[in-house]
Each structure stands twice: as C-alpha cells, then as structure tokens.
Amino acid sequence: MTPDRRPNPQVPEPQPDDPVPGGGTAPPEEPDADPGTPAAAGLAVDPPAVAPGGEVTVTGHGCDPGAPVWLSIGGGPVGDTTAGADGGFDVRLSTGDTDVGHHRVTADCGRTLAGPLDVVLVSRVGGATSTATVLLFFLLIGGWYYGHRLVSHLPARRPR
C-alpha cells in the first residue's frame, strides 16, 4: 500500500500461504480468543510428592458446571466434590494407606481428568544422631590405637 492507503499495483500484499523472507510461510492470523471460552481441561496435584498418609490439594478444571466429581488415587476412591459454576474444583485429599510408589490421581466428572502423584518414604537423620555416630567412630579408633600401643611395648615372652 502507498502512504495514502491506495493499493500499489507494483507491490502485492503478502498472503498467508506466500513465502516470507528467511524461508517458511507467513503465519496465519489467529482469531482473538473469546474471554468466555472455558480453559482446557486439566488436573493438578500439589505437592506432587508426599509421604504415606500425607495430604494433597487437587485442583481441576474442565468439568460441566455443577457436575459431581469422584476422585481416586491409583484406582482407589478417596473423595468427592462438586464442580463450581466455571467447571473447576479444588479439594484436599489424604493419601491414607496408599502404597509407596507412582500413582495416578483421577477425577471423574463425566470426563476423566488425571495427574501424577508420588508417595515416597521420607527419612531424616537429626543432628544429635550424626554427632553421636562421629563421636563413637573416633572413640573406637582411639581405643584401638591406644590398645595397640600398650600391647606393642610389652616384652615378648620367652619360652622356659
């Protein structure tokens, strides 16, 4: 186009399928997203790893508004709730007696939403335990060294 907005017959306007400089084709124009369009369906588990018997927060969206939602961990039912007006839900669940390992948290609300959950064993060595271990180690080494020095200075027994 020329500065006065009239088409310039010498320069064609680029079309979506025309090649662009640098290779490829011109990207198609995307329509503006409708703010009333619901977000894509999904399920999130927070935290993604928990100790046995711990609690997690499950957040999902993509259900029909007001639909009942049945939740399970590894195929075992753990709770239920109702989707809100926007099709989303947020619920706190206990892992209960779920075995240690990698599991799928599923929410069934007419469609099935899923997310990963790891149930892990957690162990921790406190400061007092590690200090006692170090002290015991040095006491044993010191006792061995001192005992060895005492025995090495004794005169050898002579046969009679």
Q: Which two tokens stand for residue 125?
A: 């060595």
The string of pLDDT tens digits covering residues 18-73 is 454 555 444 444 444 334 434 567 899 999 999 988 999 999 999 999 999 999 99
Residue 72 pLDDT: 93
Q: What is the structure's pLDDT at 134? A: 86
- Go through 5-40 and write b for each residue having 16 or more CB atoms within 10 A of its CB, e for each that does not: eeeeeeeeeeeeeeeeeeeeeeeeeeeeeeeeeeee
Quick check: 45 and 115 in contact, CB under 8 A?
yes
Mean pLDDT value across residues 138-153: 79
Give the residue, 158 or 125, on which the prediction is more confident.
158
Q: What's the pLDDT at 8?
A: 53
Q: Is the pLDDT of residue 103 over 50?
A: yes
